C-alpha cells in the first residue's frame, strides 16, 4: 500500500509503502488463494518422495526403516518449511512486504540514498563520510554475497526446468500403474503435456489463475482423505512422530544418501518466502499451519502405513499404489486427473516464478535486457518473456527425454533446491546483524542451527552430482558466471557514465538582454535588440555553450560561445547512474545539434528495494532555476517492475510542480509544457566500449588481453544485440541514440 506524497518546497516527496494488512474474511480469502500459487510445488511432493528414498527397483525397506524415513520427512517439514520459513523467515520481509533471496540481498545493499544529489544538476561538491568498522566489513562482504545470491537465483531458475519435468513425469507415471502396456509411453506423454504447457504461456496465467486455488484445495483434501484411510490400516505409523526414529534410521543404516530423497519432501518451501510480496505473512501462516502442513503429514503417514502393510506391491509406485480401492476404480482415476492438474499448476507457478526472476536480474542490471510482455492489466508479477519460455521448453523436453529414469531426475532436482535453501540461510543470518541490528550471537546461532540442517541436505545432494545433479549445477554455474560478468561490465560502463557528468551552470551560460518587439501589419513580429532603457523594451534570456575555441587576449583566455536556439519540443535525457550533474549524452547532443528543447528533462532511475512502486510515488521532480523549462526527475521503480516512462503521467507531474512553484503565473508555462509534450523524444547514450589498460604486474599482458576480449568482443556485441531500450513502452522513432566512446 502507499501513503500519499507530501509537498516540501513544491517538490513531491515519496513515502515508502507498507506491507499488505488484511483480516477477517479478506485474510481467509487471501489464504485460500495462496494454496495454488505458494504450495502447489511442495503439495505435489508426495507423488515421488518415498520412491525417491526407496527406488522401485530396489528392495522393500523394513518396517523400522519406513517409520524412520517417515519420521525424517515429518521433522524436515517441521524444521524447514514450518519453523525456518513460516515462523522465522517471514519476519524478514521488507517493510513493503517483499521476500525471497534476491530481496534479502537488496535489503542488505539498497541503492544509495542519492535522491537529492541525483536531482542536482549544478552542484560540485560531495560530502564524504567515514565508514565504521562494521560498515567496512559489510562492504567487504558485498561482492561475495552478490555472487552467492546470484548463484541461489541461478539455481532457482534451474528449478524452473526440473519442477515441470519431475512433477509432470511423476503424475503421468500413474497411467503405467493402471495400464502397464503404456509404460513405454510415459516419456512421450509427459513431453506432450509439457509442450502444451509452454505453448500456453504466451496467453498468460491470468486466465487460468482462478482455477489454481480450487485445484490445489481439492488435491490437499484428497491427500488428507487417502492419508487418514491408509493410517487406519497400520496405526503404529504414528511412532514416526517421535524424532528419535529419524535419528535411529541413520544410526542403524549409516546411509547418508537417504537424505537426498527426504530432501524432495521440502522442495518448494522457498516459495513460501519468495511469494511473501504477493500475499502477506498472516495469510501464509494461516494456510500452511491449518491446512497444508497437516495435509502433508497425514499423506506421508498414510503412505508409510501402506508401505509397511503391502510393501511388495506398493514399492512399485508408492503414491498411486496406496490409493484406496481398485487400481482401475473411480477414486484412482479421480486422484490421477487431479494429480495431473496439480502438477501442471505447480509447473505453471515455477515457470512464472522463473520469468519473475529474470525480470528482477534484468532490472538490477545483472542480465541483458530481454523483451518482456505483461499478461495482466492488474498483476505486475504476471510477465511473459518469450526468449526464456522457449529456452525453458527446449531444455525441459531434453531433460525428460534424457533422464528417462525418474530416480536420476529427482537427484538432479534436489540439488538445486538444497543450494537455494542454504543461500537463504546465509543471507538471513547476515540480515539479522546488519538490518535487524540483533546481536551477532543471534545471527550465528541461527546460522549454526539451520545452516547445519541445510548443510546436511546440501551435502547429500552434492553426492548425487555424478548421478544427475551435475545438470542443475552446470546450468546454475553458467547462469551465475554470466550474471557476475554482466554485473561487472555494466558496473564499469555506469562508472564511466557517472564520472563524465558536467555542471549544468558551467556548461551553459545565461545572459539577460533587453529587446524591443516591432509589429508590422504585413509581417510577423520582429524582435530587435534594444539600446539603453526604453519603455517598450522587455527582458529576454539567451543561452550559450563554449565552442572549444580559445584565443589569447590581455594575457588571459577567452572562451568563444555559441548561442543556443530554443526549439518547440520535449527532450528526455536519460541518466543511467545516480549522482550530480548532467549526463555525458547531453553534452554530446548540444555539441552536435546546438539547440535547446523548450522542455528539458534529465531523468534518472532509482531502483528501490521493493517489488513495485505506487503510481503517485513514481516521479520525484525538481525545477532547475538556472535554465528555463529544465527539470531534474527521478523515476522510482521497483526491482520487479517494467521500465515505462509514461509521458502523460510525467507531464502531469511537471504541471503540478509548476502550480506549486508559481501559482499566479503558471498558466503560460503549463500550456507550453502540454503543447510540446506531443513531440517528446528520449535521448540515450550508445556506448562504444573500449577496454582500458590496467597494471597487473607480471600478469599485465594476460589480464589486459582477457579484459579486452571480455569487454570488446563479448560485452560490446551483447549490448548491441540487447539494448537497454528493448523493454521501453515507447516507439523506436521517439528514441535518439547519441554515440559515445567509453574507455572502461
d(CA 467, CA 473): 12
Residues of the chain with CATH 1.20.1740.10: 30-107+140-494
pLDDT tens digits, residue range 679-699? 788 888 888 899 999 888 888
What would the mean pLDDT of 50-68 be, rounded to a whole number? 90
State what percent of residues in the chain have pLDDT above 90.
24
Q: What is the mean pLDDT of residues 420-437?
A: 88
DSSP-derived secondary structure for 224-244? HHHHHHHHHH-GGGGGGGSHH
What's the mean pLDDT when you consider all of the chain?
80
Q: What pLDDT sits at residue 127?
A: 39
CA torsion through residues 189, 190, 191, 193, sign: positive
**H or E, element range at 704:** helix 700-708
Residue 278 burial class via C-beta count within 10 angstroms: exposed 0-12, middle 13-18, buried 19 and up:
buried
- Tell me the three cell numbers of residue 224: 488428507
For residues 169 and 47, the answer to whether their CB atoms sit within 8 Å is no
Handedness of CA 40, 43, 47, 53 (dihedral sign): positive
pLDDT value, residue 570: 92
Inform me whether the pLDDT recorded for 124 exceeds 50: no
Tell which CATH classification among 3.20.20.370, 1.20.1740.10, 3.40.47.10, 1.20.120.80 matches the domain 30-107+140-494: 1.20.1740.10
**Of 76 and 698, the one with more pLDDT:** 76
Give CA–CA dist 150/361, Å, rounded: 9
pLDDT recorded at residue 10: 33
Q: Is residue 6 predicted with pLDDT exceeding 50? A: no
Examine the pLDDT at 17 and tell me if it is beyond 50. no
List all residues 6 or more positions away from 131 whose beta carbon is below 8 Å from its beta carbon.
139
**How is residue 307 written as a grid cell?**
508401505
Q: What is the pLDDT of residue 238?
A: 96
Q: How confident is the model over 212-256, as pLDDT tens digits? A: 789 999 999 999 999 999 999 999 999 999 999 999 999 999 888
What is the rounded CA–CA span in Å between residue 160 and residue 453?
Answer: 24
Q: Which sign, positive or negative, has the C-alpha torsion 479, 354, 424, 491?
A: positive
Contacts (Cβ under 8 Å, ≥6 apart) of 201 = 351, 384, 389
pTM of the shown model: 0.78
DSSP string, 26-70: HHHHHHHHHHHHTSHHHHTGGGTHHHHHS-TTSPPPPHHHHHHHH
More confident residue, 481 or 512: 481
DSSP annotation string for 318-365: HHHHTSSS-TTSHHHHHHHHHHHHHHHHHHHHHHHHHHHHHHHHHHTT
Residue-wise pLDDT for 482-529, tens only, equals 999 999 999 898 888 878 888 888 788 888 766 555 555 544 445 455
Amino acid at each position: 500500500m502507499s501513503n500519499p506524497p507530501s509537498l516540501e518546497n513544491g517538490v513531491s516527496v515519496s513515502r515508502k509503502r507498507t506491507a499488505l494488512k488484511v483480516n477477517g474474511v479478506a485474510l481467509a480469502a487471501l489464504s485460500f488463494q495462496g494454496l495454488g500459487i505458494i504450495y502447489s510445488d511442495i503439495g505435489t511432493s508426495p507423488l515421488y518422495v518415498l520412491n525417491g528414498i526407496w527406488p522401485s527397483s530396489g528392495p522393500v525397506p523394513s518396517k523400522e526403516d519406513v517409520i524412520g524415513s517417515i519420521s525424517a520427512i515429518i521433522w524436515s517439514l517441521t524444521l524447514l518449511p514450518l519453523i525456518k520459513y513460516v515462523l522465522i523467515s517471514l519476519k524478514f520481509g521488507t517493510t513493503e512486504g517483499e521476500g525471497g533471496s534476491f530481496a534479502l540481498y537488496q535489503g542488505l545493499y539498497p541503492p544509495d540514498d542519492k535522491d537529492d544529489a541525483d536531482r542536482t544538476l549544478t552542484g560540485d561538491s560531495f560530502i564524504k563520510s567515514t565508514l565504521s568498522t562494521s560498515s567496512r566489513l559489510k562492504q567487504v562482504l558485498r561482492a561475495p554475497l552478490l555472487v552467492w545470491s546470484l548463484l541461489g537465483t541461478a539455481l532457482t531458475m534451474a528449478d524452473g526446468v526440473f519442477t515441470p519435468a519431475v512433477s509432470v513425469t511423476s503424475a503421468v507415471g500413474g497411467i503405467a500403474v493402471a495400464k502397464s502396456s503404456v509404460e513405454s509411453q510415459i516419456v512421450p506423454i509427459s513431453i506432450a503435456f509439457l509442450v502444451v504447457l509452454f505453448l500456453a504461456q504466451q496467453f498468460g496465467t491470468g486466465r487460468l489463475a482462478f482455477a489454481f486455488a480450487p485445484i490445489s484445495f481439492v488435491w490437499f483434501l484428497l491427500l488428507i482423505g487417502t492419508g487418514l484411510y491408509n493410517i487406519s490400516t497400520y496405526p503404529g505409523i504414528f511412532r514416526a512422530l517421535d524424532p528419535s526414529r529419524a535419528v535411529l534410521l541413520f544410526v542403524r543404516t549409516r546411509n547418508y544418501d537417504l537424505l537426498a530423497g527426504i530432501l524432495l519432501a521440502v522442495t518448494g518451501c522457498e516459495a513460501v518466502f519468495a511469494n511473501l510480496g504477493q500475499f502477506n505473512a498472516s495469510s501464509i501462516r494461516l494456510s500452511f499451519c491449518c491446512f497444508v502442513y497437516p495435509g502433508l503429514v497425514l499423506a506421508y503417514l498414510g503412505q508409510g502405513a501402506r508401505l509397511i502393510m503391502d510393501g511388495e506391491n506398493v514399492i512399485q509406485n508408492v503414491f498411486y499404489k496406496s490409493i484406496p480401492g481398485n487400481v482401475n476404480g473411480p477414486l484412482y482415476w479421480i486422484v490421477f486427473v487431479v494429480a495431473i492438474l496439480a502438477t501442471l499448476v505447480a509447473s505453471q507457478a515455477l515457470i512464472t516464478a522463473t520469468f519473475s526472476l529474470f525480470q528482477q536480474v534484468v532490472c538490477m542490471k545483472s542480465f541483458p535486457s530481454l523483451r518482456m510482455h505483461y499478461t495482466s492489466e492488474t498483476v505486475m508479477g504476471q510477465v511473459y518473456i518469450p526468449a526464456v519460455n522457449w529456452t525453458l521448453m527446449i531444455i525441459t523436453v531434453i531433460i525428460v527425454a534424457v533422464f528417462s529414469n525418474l530416480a536420476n531426475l529427482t537427484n538432479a532436482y534436489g540439488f538445486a533446491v538444497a543450494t537455494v535453501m542454504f543461500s537463504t540461510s546465509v543471507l538471513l543470518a547476515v540480515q539479522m546483524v546488519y538490518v535487524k541490528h540483533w546481536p551477532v550471537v543471534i545471527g550465528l546461532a541461527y546460522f549454526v542451527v539451520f545452516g547445519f540442517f541445510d548443510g546436511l541436505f546440501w551435502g547429500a545432494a552434492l553426492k548425487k552430482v555424478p548421478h544427475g545433479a551435475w545438470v542443475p549445477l552446470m546450468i546454475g554455474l553458467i547462469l551465475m558466471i554470466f550474471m557476475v560478468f554482466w554485473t561487472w561490465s555494466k558496473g564499469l560502463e555506469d562508472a564511466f557514465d557517472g564520472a563524465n557528468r558536467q555542471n549544468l551552470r558551467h556548461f551553459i551560460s545565461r545572459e539577460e538582454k533587453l529587446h524591443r518587439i516591432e509589429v508590422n501589419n504585413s509581417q510577423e513580429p520582429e524582435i530587435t535588440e534594444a539600446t539603453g532603457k526604453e519603455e517598450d523594451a522587455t527582458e529576454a534570456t539567451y543561452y550559450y555553450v563554449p565552442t572549444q575555441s580559445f584565443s589569447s587576449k590581455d594575457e588571459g583566455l577567452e572562451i568563444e560561445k555559441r548561442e543556443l536556439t530554443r526549439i518547440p519540443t520535449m527532450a528526455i535525457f536519460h541518466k543511467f547512474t545516480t549522482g550530480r550533474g548532467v549526463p555525458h549524452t547531453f553534452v554530446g547532443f548540444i555539441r552536435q545539434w546546438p539547440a535547446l528543447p523548450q522542455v528539458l528533462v534529465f531523468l534518472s532511475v532509482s531502483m528501490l528495494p521493493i517489488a513495485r512502486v505506487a503510481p503517485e510515488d513514481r516521479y520525484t521532480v525538481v525545477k532547475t532555476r538556472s535554465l528555463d523549462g529544465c527539470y531534474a526527475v527521478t523515476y522510482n521503480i521497483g526491482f520487479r517492475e517494467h521500465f515505462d516512462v509514461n509521458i502523460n503521467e510525467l507531464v502531469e507531474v511537471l504541471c503540478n510542480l509548476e502550480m506549486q512553484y508559481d501559482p499566479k503565473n503558471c498558466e503560460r508555462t503549463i500550456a507550453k509544457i502540454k503543447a510540446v509534450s506531443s513531440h517528446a523524444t528520449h535521448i540515450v547514450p550508445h556506448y562504444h566500449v573500449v577496454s582500458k589498460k590496467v597494471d597487473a604486474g607480471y600478469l599485465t599482458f594476460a589480464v589486459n588481453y582477457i579484459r579486452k576480449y571480455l569487454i570488446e568482443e563479448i560485452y560490446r556485441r551483447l549490448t548491441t544485440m540487447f539494448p537497454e531500450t528493448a523493454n521501453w513502452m515507447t516507439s523506436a522513432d521517439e528514441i535518439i541514440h547519441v554515440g559515445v566512446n567509453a574507455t572502461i
